Structure 1
Amino acid sequence: MSSTPIAHTSPSLRPSIGRWLLAGCSLLLLVVWLAPQSVHAQVWFPSSLHLVSEMLVTAIAALVFAVTWHGYQREQPLCLTVLGCMFLAVGLLGVLHALSYKGMPDILTPASPEKAINFWLVTRLLLTGGLLGLAYYPGRQVCGRTQRALILGATLTFVAVIAYLGLAFPERWPRTFLDNGELTPFKMGVEWVFTGLLLLAALGFWRARREDRPYDAQGLMAVCLLSALADVCFARYTQVNGLYNLIGHFFNLLAYGFVYQMVVVSCVRAPYERLEVEMAERLAAEQRAEKLAFYDGLTGLPNLALLRDRAAQALVNARRESNRVALLLLDLDQFKLVNDALGHSHGDQLLGAVSQLLQKVVPSSATVCRAGGDEFVILLPSLGDGEFAAGVIERIFDQLAMPLAIGGQPILSSASIGVAIAPTDGEDVETLLRNAEAAMYKAKDAGRKACRYYDPAMNVATSERLQLSNGLRNALSRGELELHYQVQLSLDSDEVIGAEALLRWNHPQWGTVSPARFIPVAEESGLIVSIGAWILREACRQAAEWRARGVVIPVVAVNISALQLQDPALVSTVAEALAAAGLPPEALELELTESGLIQDNAQVQATVEGLKELGVSLAIDDFGTGYSCLAYLSRLHVDLLKIDQSFVRDLKRTADGSAIVAAIIQIARSLGLRTLAEGVEDRETAEALRQLGCNHAQGYLFGRPMPARSLTAQMAERRVSGAA
């Protein structure tokens, strides 16, 4: 159902105003009631004033009908259609009442007070009956155009009949006015009846004030009460020009004013108020859409779309003023570890804290943008020189060096920053972004927590990195990856104790790609997880095949990256690889990096414990080159320490090299761990390691990494020579 003209009270018609107005009118009636007879005998209500008041009432009634009739769609509540037509009849009969007043021109029969009263009583009957019916009728039935036309036709017919009877045959109506100017008992009785019925209607509206009605019940209750006060006056007056008649018409005008306020003003204002609300909602929606289109939902910072627009303007201004523009691309270091260790909600809090920090340290003319993930872009327009950008970068590093309170605990964060400056490093936004990203990756390669300015040579490295990443995505499906194996021997017995599986990439165009080139790209792109799962399956399959053929290689070692350690599925991946190959767990050794273990978060701890429960051996690869923390050695229950080849090479060169290797062996022995030295290339080094107490070794002295078939052949020759 469409909204209705009096469905809502106008803001100016608050209930408190209605109560105060009714109280004031009641007090006024009391004062008039107590006034001396001499006061009532005076002329208070001349014919001209009566005509003006009746015309106002008639105009209001006509407006109520017009707005009610035209303010709806095809269907509207039946009760309001009847109400509108009732006011039309009241208005038309009100005109006849005013024109029949004593002193007005004669129409068919002479004008007289009694003739005017007759029309008046009919209007009061219509008003009272209409309000009473509306108060006790639920008002939910609707009517269409045909029903409306029938109701309007009946209304006009009724008015025509009453007009004819009132004008042509006034003598046939009951007496209401005596020649001495007094009212008849009939007239006063009818007014008191109207008063009672209006009070009954007011009670009905009071009970309906909290119901879902298609009109303002509280406002119509005020109309009933004011009309009841008016009827009291009309039942009391003895002079048509007296004070009671004046006050009665005043109350009646107020009652119609209430109806005017509810119907006319509300209906005229409502479309504009609705339009205003709709415009406000549309503006808010546009602002929300703009915020979604140009601002980041998490941090509230501008996004790349808005940054591009501002950067384009800054570049135009810089060319005009011969200034420079700097673009800083900032990437948080080890952000994934925060997400994995503390959860994504804490990661989001960290991003929010960093965004606030960046806004505080950059100048007001700068734009801080979140590019996505853990990347931020800072636009510095109108640079005088590069030193200004350096000062901003220094402040960023200083602020990031202080711990941020995330989730009730302090988090130390760092960032790698790449800088591109226009016009030297690019004259458009996309070029600057691309070059700043290349510089940022160089900062990452430099060990993180660093800043690098763009250099054209960086594009070569970035292009190569992109080519490697794209190539790796298809390397598995194309069969370009294979495993080579390097034997591991016991330094005491010279027996093979295992072989380390090493990944090789044979590209059809590039040839053999060095692991030093593609492994970091695989880790950065996340491809290392799927590639690592393939390595596990292939190494277990090969180890099982060697066992089945009687090739004595007791253990196969497989490297596990830091990213794989953070994968909750690693334990199940290892278990599935062992089960698929039929390989016992003790035949598999997993080499873990110190960078992965040093995080020591709940996920790493759970993964390591799960691997130990499977029964596989755990080794720490390249021990001594990174963090070398004794705490995690005791907590994680590893089995083997692999001494990095950099220390092995220095074993014969410097006393410090020998002392470091001896210290690592002593640490392992004290913790009950075995040791294996990498990069052993000559007998002298191997003997020195054996004398220091190192258990095992691998290196070119014992064999280079080779395909499985070559190692199988070598092991066969070794067995033959051993038998001879």
Structure 2
Amino acid sequence: MEEFRLVSKKPICIPLLTGGVLLLGLYLTSLYNYLLFHSLAEIFSIVIAFSIFAFAWNCRKIIDNNYLIFLGIAYLFVGFIDIIHTLAYVGMGIFRGFDANLPTQLWIIARYLESISLLLACFILNKKKIKFNLVLLGNTIIVSLSLLLIFYWKIFPSCFIEGSGLTPFKKISEYIISLILAASLFFLLRKKEKFDRKVLQWLVISILLTIVSELAFTFYISVYGLSNLIGHIFKILSFYFIYQAIIVTGLTKPQELLFKNLQESEEKLSYALQATNDGIWDNNFESGKLYKSDRYYEMLGYNPGEITITPKVFEELLHPEDKKNVLQRSQECVEGYNIFTNFFKRGKP
């Protein structure tokens, strides 16, 4: 008798349809009021940027992913500049005495920061630990100086001139940003073994969409023009995919993002122990829990899990000649006086 099973897969048509409807709604919003469309598009990316920071920052003490932590801090400042960019947009009427050049300058600063951060993040993957305070301080200094160049010293290069459109500095900057993003993509793929396949896929798509977005922003003459609209659509899509890579994966499959290095280390340790035929035990003196590998049971003459080895049983298994010394040395380890390294005989109680 044969048994047939149907494995249901999550249909992708529903998310695609939902996304298409939302994008269509945004487009129709732009026809009604472009300023409203721009605000909604920027708010979407700002919320995701702050979410990435909040997620990475609150997990910084338990994760071993420098890439995520570094990007999380960077996106805090990217989101902050995008807020000012949104408020400074033509028609908002918040920053008096400024024209369309101001939001364009802020846009360039945010995109430089984002692209450079994506590139630098690839080079700290192998670092054991990064100093969060230094990364925060560095971003704070860079953003503060950039804002001073615009608002106080007013010497930041012009990016948009009313009546003529984008300046050469703005266009060249967009090309440079695109090249930086392409470089970050290159180095990311060179270290693809550090990422889960799905996470890597989302990151690659996000960076590619960001490049398309930047290139779209090299054509517009009006800040309400078609290429400006297209650029913001691609920005929304790029932030959606980085949201999938970091937030969704981090919450639903943390082992693929937060603890991937730890998981790989545990697998390597398991293979090494099998190859050396060693048994291991780990005694948590605070919780009283005692971990034993299967080989450890076998070395004592038991089947794995045949007996429950509590701290009391652990003491009973010690040879009488070694018991006093082992207990004394382990107590010194608990009190922080020494590292527990010892050789002793074991046997059945």
**TM-score (norm. length: structure 2):** 0.59
Alignment of 1:41-52 (within 5 A): 46-52=34-40
| Cα distance in structure 1, aligned partners of 2:74 and 2:256 | 28
| Cα distance in structure 2, aligned partners of 1:70 and 1:63 | 11
| Cα distance in structure 1, aligned partners of 2:142 and 2:174 | 22
1:57 maps to what in 2? 45
Residue 206 (structure 1) aligned to one of 189, 213, 232: 189
Matched, 1:251 2:237: no
Sort the Cα spacing of 1:268 and 1:77 in 2 relative to 1 into closer, same or farther, 3 A: closer
Alignment of 1:37-436 (within 5 A): 46-74=34-62, 76-107=64-95, 110-135=97-122, 137=123, 139-143=125-129, 147-170=131-154, 172-209=155-192, 211-213=193-195, 216-270=199-253
| Cα distance in structure 2, aligned partners of 1:267 and 1:203 | 24
- Does the CA contact (< 8 Å) of 2:105 and 2:158 recur in 1? no
User: Percent identity of the aligned residues?
Assistant: 26
- Does the CA contact (< 8 Å) of 2:74 and 2:114 recur in 1? yes
Q: 1:227-280 CA deviation, whole Å, 9 max, x = no partner?
A: 010011101112211111111001011111111111112222236999xxxxxx
| Cα distance in structure 1, aligned partners of 2:36 and 2:203 | 30
Tell me how far 1:193 sits from its aligned partner.
1.9
- Does the CA contact (< 8 Å) of 2:200 and 2:245 recur in 1? no
| Cα distance in structure 2, aligned partners of 1:273 and 1:185 | 43
- Partner of 2:91: helix, strand, or coil? coil
- Partner of 1:79: helix, strand, or coil? helix
| Cα distance in structure 2, aligned partners of 1:273 and 1:57 | 24
Could you tell me which amino acid in structure 2 is paired with residue 114 of structure 1? N
Alignment of 1:484-495 (within 5 A): none
Alignment of 1:653-672 (within 5 A): none
Tell me how far 1:73 sits from its aligned partner.
2.7
Max Rg structure: 1
Could you tell me which amino acid in structure 2 is paired with residue 164 of structure 1? L
Q: 1:289-323 CA deviation, whole Å, 9 max, x = no partner?
A: xxxxxxxxxxxxxxxxxxxxxxxxxxxxxxxxxxx
- Structure 1 spans left out of the alignment, 5+ residues: 1-10, 15-19, 25-41, 275-724
Alignment of 1:462-477 (within 5 A): none
| Cα distance in structure 2, aligned partners of 1:44 and 1:243 | 14
Sort the Cα spacing of 1:56 and 1:184 in 2 relative to 1 into closer, same or farther, 3 A: same
Alignment of 1:496-511 (within 5 A): none
Q: 1:648-705 CA deviation, whole Å, 9 max, x = no partner?
A: xxxxxxxxxxxxxxxxxxxxxxxxxxxxxxxxxxxxxxxxxxxxxxxxxxxxxxxxxx
Tell me how far 1:161 sits from its aligned partner.
3.2
Could you tell me which amino acid in structure 2 is paired with residue 82 of structure 1? F
2:281 maps to what in 1? none
| Cα distance in structure 2, aligned partners of 1:208 and 1:243 | 37
| Cα distance in structure 2, aligned partners of 1:74 and 1:65 | 15
Could you tell me which amino acid in structure 2 is paired with residue 85 of structure 1? I
| Cα distance in structure 1, aligned partners of 2:40 and 2:252 | 27
- Does the CA contact (< 8 Å) of 2:175 and 2:215 recur in 1? yes
| Cα distance in structure 1, aligned partners of 2:57 and 2:159 | 35
- Partner of 2:218: helix, strand, or coil? helix
Quick one: higher RCO (CA 8 Å, sep 6+), 1 or 2?
2
- Does the CA contact (< 8 Å) of 1:201 and 1:221 recur in 2? no
- Partner of 1:235: helix, strand, or coil? coil
- Partner of 2:163: helix, strand, or coil? coil
| Cα distance in structure 1, aligned partners of 2:254 and 2:66 | 22
Sort the Cα spacing of 1:239 and 1:105 in 2 relative to 1 into closer, same or farther, 3 A: closer
- Structure 2 spans left out of the alignment, 5+ residues: 1-8, 21-29, 258-349
Q: 1:512-553 CA deviation, whole Å, 9 max, x = no partner?
A: xxxxxxxxxxxxxxxxxxxxxxxxxxxxxxxxxxxxxxxxxx
| Cα distance in structure 2, aligned partners of 1:54 and 1:245 | 13
Greater fraction of residues in helix: 2
| Cα distance in structure 2, aligned partners of 1:269 and 1:62 | 19
Tell me how far 1:56 sits from its aligned partner.
1.1
Q: 1:9-63 CA deviation, whole Å, 9 max, x = no partner?
A: xx98x9xxxxx9xxx9xxxxxxxxxxxxxxxxx9687112111111111111000
2:260 maps to what in 1? none
2:269 maps to what in 1? none
Could you tell me which amino acid in structure 1 is paired with residue 183 of structure 2? L
Sort the Cα spacing of 1:181 and 1:269 in 2 relative to 1 into closer, same or farther, 3 A: farther
- Does the CA contact (< 8 Å) of 2:196 and 2:256 recur in 1? no
- Does the CA contact (< 8 Å) of 1:44 and 1:241 recur in 2? no
| Cα distance in structure 1, aligned partners of 2:182 and 2:256 | 34
Tell me how far 1:219 sits from its aligned partner.
2.1
Alignment of 1:640-655 (within 5 A): none
Sort the Cα spacing of 1:91 and 1:194 in 2 relative to 1 into closer, same or farther, 3 A: same
Q: 1:178-209 CA deviation, whole Å, 9 max, x = no partner?
A: 22051112211111222222223223333333
Could you tell me which amino acid in structure 1 is paired with residue 129 of structure 2? C
Tell me how far 1:221 sits from its aligned partner.
1.4
- Does the CA contact (< 8 Å) of 1:140 and 1:214 recur in 2? no
